[in-house]
Structure 1
Amino acid sequence: MRRIWKRGKTGHCLRDGVIVMISKSQPLSERAVLFLRLGVGFSIGLIVAYLIADEVRRSADTLLRQDWREVLAQTLTLVAFILWAGAAVMRRVSLAIWSAIAAAMLCFILWHVRIYSGDGNSSELQSILILLALTFIANELVSSADQAGKPFAPYELYFDEAWKRGVQLILAIGFTLLFWGILWMGAALLGFIGFKWLEDLLKNEYFAFPITGLAFASAVHLGDIQPKLLANVRGLALGVLAWLLPVITLIGAIFAVSLVFSGLQPLWDTKAATATLLSACIGFVLLINAAFQQGETDRKVQVVLKWCVRLAGLLLLVFAVLAAWSLGLRINQYGLTIDRTLAGMVVVIALAYGLGYSAAVFWRGPWMELLKPLNIGLAVFKCVVFIAILTPLASPARLSVDNQVKRLTSGLVKPEKFDWWFLRYDTGTYGRKAIDQLIQSPDMRIAKMAASAKAETLGPRPRYRGGDEFQEVERPDLSKLEVIAPKGAALPAGFMAQKFNDEAEAFVPDCLVRKPKNTDEACKAAVLDIDGDAQPEVLIMTKVGTVAAFKQSTNMWVAIRAEVTPSRNIELESVTKGEIRIVAPLFKDVMIGDSRVRFFPIDRPTNIIVDMEPVATAKSAEPAAQAPSKP
């Protein structure tokens, strides 16, 4: 049960009908909570504004590097959330100790993510999202345990506080966005009459960040003093999500049964099986808990929802196993990357949920009662996994670098096909240290490539890769490209011999770069002299309705920009029939100095009526000019 504190007029506290002295171990009063939240919002807003302000960023005398200023700004922002959330429910000493520990932990994690392993790390956004989830879950575990006065609170308190805080956070974000929308509307209205002072004020960091902190703190406090509002919103959200469970359960069951007949190969061929399956796992967990809530202790659950929860718990395990299988195949083929390591983290958590929820289905006792201790244990487990992923313990950058270097040194990947750009630019200090070690390799090819990577002389990074091992692109046989106009024409020999690369040209269609996998990716060609120089150009038409043109230069074929009017795509039926011809341009170009101006007609919709007075002709204008004017 939650402890209820009520401040008395004598400066004492009334608890369970007994007068006790107010001590530092008790929560703050409602007024003190309000002042604390507003003070935190304003002061941290000012500090963050100073850390990221333009004049500080440009100053050469600043004591902190820009990346460290960003780390501190993000740390303070997350600590503000902890103070806002815990001010009304945690004891004073507990709140102070937990905020200090969380601040140190967050600062270390952000340093590791942004500075040590995050230099050029394309997965920094995923790490920040994981950190946000870690902060929310850990704070709810600590604050609920503090309210209960023991290491682990009852499940009902965890459920109540977590969902309440989630709804409160969403409403606070919405309130802050609306607040800023009103401010900018006011700035726009003043700007219409020539006053720009409010717009300039809103663009100033020293005003924007403190006012945002005050608005967010006010919204959080309004949620605390309006518990019925939060309870109603939470109940509505849970009710809507609960009745989405039968939908996802039905779809999941149909999918699982269909796999028996289709096999797994079509699923693997999508190249997106792991992400899709894990998304389904997250949906199952969310909707199962929305339907279960606190079990049958406080409400009667519909029979349909009961059976859907049971079936969804089993499907969750099936989807988690399939995701693990899919990810394992990819890792065995191409090794670990940062994204695959993060996916592996989600797979581990999904398997833990799947095994636990499946066991709860067959557990004796009240309906799915095992979910209560399971959810508490899994919340702690997620915090441990998140901390490991965000620190050197299981850093995706470190694990992927170790795995890829092992594949290179063992001969699984040739040095020429190894993704040296991954080590140099995507894995921060871990990758650069690995390059320094590979420079000392006894294999001269590895040492040479490592030295080039360190000197940044590898050239542009290829786009088409299979994981981290570059694959040779399966080139199309251009001699098999169908020429539809003029009939009987053939592609020029130089065009068929050229190897096209869309890295060099943005207007090269895929069918010229790689062999089409099916007829939907095939193209058709036309050989026409479109510039009148007696040398044919090649037009390539794709199944999606785009057109690319190529002209022969001194030693290669280069792309010409093509534009389709009035619509942006050609008619596929006309391509199939070979209805292609050369016509004169509607308008001639105009040269203004060295600039060429081209003209195109405006495609005006037929349902728009344009009211214009016709231009008078010369014959009708003459008598009008001679008409006498009125006195």
Structure 2
Amino acid sequence: MVSKLFGTHNQLLTERGALLLRLTTGLFIGLLVGLLIDHDGKGGVLAALGQDWREILAQSLTLLAFVLWANAAVMRRISLAAWTGLVAVVLIFVSWHAQKLVGTANVSELAYVMILLALSFIANELVSSADQAGKIVAPYELYFDEAWKRGVQLALAIFFTLLFWAILVLGAALLGFIGFNWLKKLLDEPLVATPLLGLAFASAVHLGDIQPRLLTQVRALALGVLGWLLPVISLIGVIFAVSLLFSGLQPLWDTRAATATLLSACIAFVLLINAAFQQGEDERKVALVLKWSVRLGCLLLLLFAVLAAWSLSLRIFQYGLTIDRAYAAMVVVIALAYGVGYSIAVFKPGPWMAGLKPANIGLAMFKCVVFLAVLTPLAAPARLSVDHQVSRLLKGQVKPERFDWFVLSADTGQYGKSALAKLVASKDPTIVSWAQKASDGKLERRRYDLDPELEAEVTKPADLTRLAVVSPKGAKLPASFIATNFHALPDFTVPRCLMFEPMRDADRCHAALINLDASPDLEVAILSSDEGLSIFKQSPTGWIGLIQSQRLYDEAASQAFKNGEIRSAEPVLRDIILGDTRLRLTPVPPEGAGQPAVLFDATPLPPSKP
């Protein structure tokens, strides 16, 4: 019986064998993950392993299940066993590194999870396709078919599993309405929930294998839709590139989101170029507009990757390497590799864009190497960030009082703690003092954690002399107002132009001097670039905020402020004082019978001074 299901040599499993392996994997790995989950803080049956190792094993087993589900019907059984064992070792090591050396705070980061999933998917498809082809490097057509098929299969399986779980939750809710809570209690129990989810996902993956026409049709639809989006993004990319010739790069840098935006465009180009190219013209006739869009998209990809690399290098040179910038640098390196490889394919002689085939295979392998390096000590973002920031500190590029010591003590795991131990032994007494405080946990997180750039800006004095005073004509802001540290105002939203150096016209504000109370001193009204109105008043202790960023939704009113058409006026109705309560009266226009003519807000009076 066993030989009928699994065979006696290194060959593919039968259809029944693949189904049995998938269901068994879903059931047993689901049970193990359920046991590893820390339920009610007790740690379950495997509590002796410790919280860290339970999380490491639960994460590794979950991803290992994906490998078995995906390959059960396509890899030969000995190859599958060897590949599964290797993946298990790598996953446990990567998870251990993230948990023990980087710190638990970074294990749940979206970037870490996405990189780990991408590495698992790409490496699995490379190995799976090679095993099917019987050689180290499979034909491009096999890679293409298997990767897109597996992507669609996993997406449909996730959708089916979520739908399955939603139905169970709905059923538990319906039973709960009539007083039966047994199903809800079962679903809340990890030892029941995780095996059920594993069995559901395994069944969905197997259903995709035995319904190849469904996967083919969904894949064709997805590729068709994505492919015809390439001309749109290519046209936008050309307009953007031409516009840069007239505007220069400064407006792009001023957005403070140039790197993220450019890298997002690079990812979109890679996806859409491959959707339009597919397997070239081997199986279908490609429209002329798609051919030229692919060529243009490859060149734009290189341009955007170079701009992203330039933008990121400027930030790293100015403010150092942070964990986020290290992740961005990884994407930049991959984007540059794609840009160069795809641009070479544009000019390579022969069939239309035939160079994309070997380029995609080589780039897939390159990404696996980069991802693995980032997930291990070789190029861990936490280690790279610590090394670079400490180097800047020791070289005097950043002062000890401006250095973000909390990141070393709390956010970079063992790498940061090791760096602090070395800095405590430094010959610079100032560095030693700060490092000791950080090691002892006496320093708190800064307002803008992990970003020295923003931390430097919030304490940079704003050039308030550049504010346009629109009323009275020719007036200037009081010297005491200009000298105020608005960032220190407690619990008050201050316009950006009062806290930062106005670098763009969009960040600048308009100011007006106006008397709003019985005091002869003038108040300062500020209209920010987002049409928010703030008012500040001079007090014995300095300038304080009265009104914070009240949005003016009337465009005419905003324009009137900018034109200097601003004045104060007595209220239509004075307030009423009733003992310790003030009634602020507001007339409203009549809209019908029974509508009150006046609304009022009751507020307590401030305590009188003795």
In the alignment, is residue 91 of structure 1 matched against residue 94 of structure 2?
A: no
CA spacing shift, 1:583–1:80, aligned 2, 3 Å: farther
Q: Are 2:106 and 2:112, in contact at CA under 8 Å, matched by a contact in 1?
A: no
In the alignment, is residue 440 of structure 1 matched against residue 428 of structure 2?
A: no
Q: Which amino acid aligns with 1:284?
A: F
| Alignment counterpart, residue 558 of structure 2, candidates 572, 593, 602 | 572
In the alignment, is residue 508 of structure 1 matched against residue 474 of structure 2?
A: no
How far off is 1:27 after superposition? 2.0
Q: Structure 1: how far apart are the matches of 2:242 and 2:541?
A: 57
Which moves more between the two structures, 60-69 or 368-377? 60-69
How far off is 1:114 after superposition? 3.1
Map 1:25-40; keep pairs closer than 5 Å: 25-40=10-25
Find the counterpart in structure 2 of residue 67 from structure 1: 52
Find the counterpart in structure 2 of residue 475 from structure 1: 462
| Alignment counterpart, residue 439 of structure 2, candidates 454, 459, 484 | 454
Q: Structure 2: how far apart are the matches of 1:53 and 1:232?
A: 42
Q: Structure 2: how far apart are the matches of 1:270 and 1:431?
A: 31
How far off is 1:141 after superposition? 0.9
How far off is 1:393 after superposition? 0.8
Please list the CA deviations of residues 368-409 of structure 1 after superposition, one character each: whole Å capped at 9, or x if unmatched.
222222211111111011111111111111112111211111
Where 1:394 maps in the other structure, the secondary structure is: coil
How far off is 1:161 after superposition? 0.6
Structure 1: gaps spanning 5 or more residues: 1-8, 14-20, 615-631
Find the counterpart in structure 2 of residue 184 from structure 1: 169
Map 1:362-377; keep pairs closer than 5 Å: 362-377=347-362
| Identity value in percent | 55
How far off is 1:67 after superposition? 2.9
How far off is 1:80 after superposition? 0.7
Q: Structure 2: how far apart are the matches of 1:91 and 1:260?
A: 56
Where 1:498 maps in the other structure, the secondary structure is: coil
In the alignment, is residue 337 of structure 1 matched against residue 325 of structure 2?
A: no
How far off is 1:303 after superposition? 2.3
Q: Are 2:575 and 2:582, in contact at CA under 8 Å, matched by a contact in 1?
A: no
Q: Are 1:245 and 1:288, in contact at CA under 8 Å, matched by a contact in 2?
A: yes
Find the counterpart in structure 2 of residue 415 from structure 1: 400
Q: Are 1:37 and 1:217, in contact at CA under 8 Å, matched by a contact in 2?
A: yes
CA spacing shift, 1:22–1:256, aligned 2, 3 Å: same
Please list the CA deviations of residues 153-184 of structure 1 after superposition, one character each: whole Å capped at 9, or x if unmatched.
21111111100000011111111222223233
Where 2:48 maps in the other structure, the secondary structure is: coil
CA spacing shift, 1:549–1:460, aligned 2, 3 Å: farther
Find the counterpart in structure 2 of residue 623 from structure 1: none
Find the counterpart in structure 2 of residue 16 from structure 1: none
How far off is 1:204 after superposition? 3.1
Q: Are 1:419 and 1:469, in contact at CA under 8 Å, matched by a contact in 2?
A: no
Q: Are 2:467 and 2:511, in contact at CA under 8 Å, matched by a contact in 1?
A: no
Q: Structure 2: how far apart are the matches of 1:334 and 1:261?
A: 29
Find the counterpart in structure 2 of residue 426 from structure 1: 411
Where 2:541 maps in the other structure, the secondary structure is: coil
Q: Which amino acid aligns with 2:220?
A: G
Q: TM-score, normalised by structure 1?
A: 0.82
Q: Structure 2: how far apart are the matches of 1:294 and 1:597?
A: 76
Q: Are 2:533 and 2:547, in contact at CA under 8 Å, matched by a contact in 1?
A: no
| Alignment counterpart, residue 263 of structure 2, candidates 269, 278, 288 | 278
Cα RMSD (Å): 3.9
CA spacing shift, 1:109–1:134, aligned 2, 3 Å: same
Where 2:126 maps in the other structure, the secondary structure is: helix
Find the counterpart in structure 1 of residue 601 from structure 2: none
Find the counterpart in structure 2 of residue 254 from structure 1: 239
Find the counterpart in structure 2 of residue 18 from structure 1: none
Q: Structure 2: how far apart are the matches of 1:613 and 1:469?
A: 56
Q: Are 1:316 and 1:354, in contact at CA under 8 Å, matched by a contact in 2?
A: yes
Where 1:296 maps in the other structure, the secondary structure is: coil
Find the counterpart in structure 1 of residue 103 from structure 2: 118
Q: Are 1:56 and 1:62, in contact at CA under 8 Å, matched by a contact in 2?
A: no
Q: Are 2:36 and 2:43, in contact at CA under 8 Å, matched by a contact in 1?
A: no
Please list the CA deviations of residues 304-329 of structure 1 after superposition, one character each: whole Å capped at 9, or x if unmatched.
22222222222222222222222222
Find the counterpart in structure 2 of residue 498 from structure 1: 484
Q: Which amino acid aligns with 2:203?
A: S
CA spacing shift, 1:387–1:421, aligned 2, 3 Å: same
How far off is 1:84 after superposition? 0.5
| Alignment counterpart, residue 378 of structure 1, candidates 357, 363, 366 | 363
CA spacing shift, 1:123–1:558, aligned 2, 3 Å: farther
| Alignment counterpart, residue 289 of structure 1, candidates 266, 269, 274 | 274
Q: Which amino acid aligns with 2:493?
A: F
Q: Structure 2: how far apart are the matches of 1:570 and 1:563?
A: 18
Q: Which amino acid aligns with 1:475?
A: A
In the alignment, is residue 241 of structure 1 matched against residue 226 of structure 2?
A: yes
| Alignment counterpart, residue 542 of structure 1, candidates 507, 528, 542 | 528
Q: Structure 1: how far apart are the matches of 2:59 and 2:331?
A: 24
Q: Which amino acid aligns with 2:18?
A: V
Which moves more between the two structures, 237-246 or 490-499? 490-499
Find the counterpart in structure 1 of residue 541 from structure 2: 555
Q: Which amino acid aligns with 2:462?
A: R
Q: TM-score, normalised by structure 2?
A: 0.85
Find the counterpart in structure 2 of residue 157 from structure 1: 142
| Alignment counterpart, residue 524 of structure 1, candidates 511, 515, 519 | 511
CA spacing shift, 1:60–1:264, aligned 2, 3 Å: same
How far off is 1:87 after superposition? 0.7
Q: Are 2:119 and 2:368, in contact at CA under 8 Å, matched by a contact in 1?
A: yes
Find the counterpart in structure 2 of residue 214 from structure 1: 199
Q: Are 2:420 and 2:439, in contact at CA under 8 Å, matched by a contact in 1?
A: yes
CA spacing shift, 1:542–1:371, aligned 2, 3 Å: closer
How far off is 1:110 after superposition? 1.5
Which moves more between the two structures, 370-379 or 578-587? 578-587
Where 1:37 maps in the other structure, the secondary structure is: helix
How far off is 1:566 after superposition? 12
Please list the CA deviations of residues 115-165 of structure 1 after superposition, one character each: whole Å capped at 9, or x if unmatched.
311354499321221111000001111111111222222111111110000
Where 2:225 maps in the other structure, the secondary structure is: helix
Where 1:403 maps in the other structure, the secondary structure is: helix
How far off is 1:588 after superposition? 7.8
Q: Structure 2: how far apart are the matches of 1:85 and 1:155?
A: 19
Q: Structure 1: how far apart are the matches of 2:224 and 2:364?
A: 23
Where 1:234 maps in the other structure, the secondary structure is: helix
How far off is 1:480 after superposition? 6.0
Q: Are 1:280 and 1:319, in contact at CA under 8 Å, matched by a contact in 2?
A: yes
Larger Rg: 1
Find the counterpart in structure 2 of residue 134 from structure 1: 119
Q: Which amino acid aligns with 2:234?
A: T
Q: Are 1:423 and 1:431, in contact at CA under 8 Å, matched by a contact in 2?
A: yes
Q: Which amino acid aligns with 2:439?
A: K
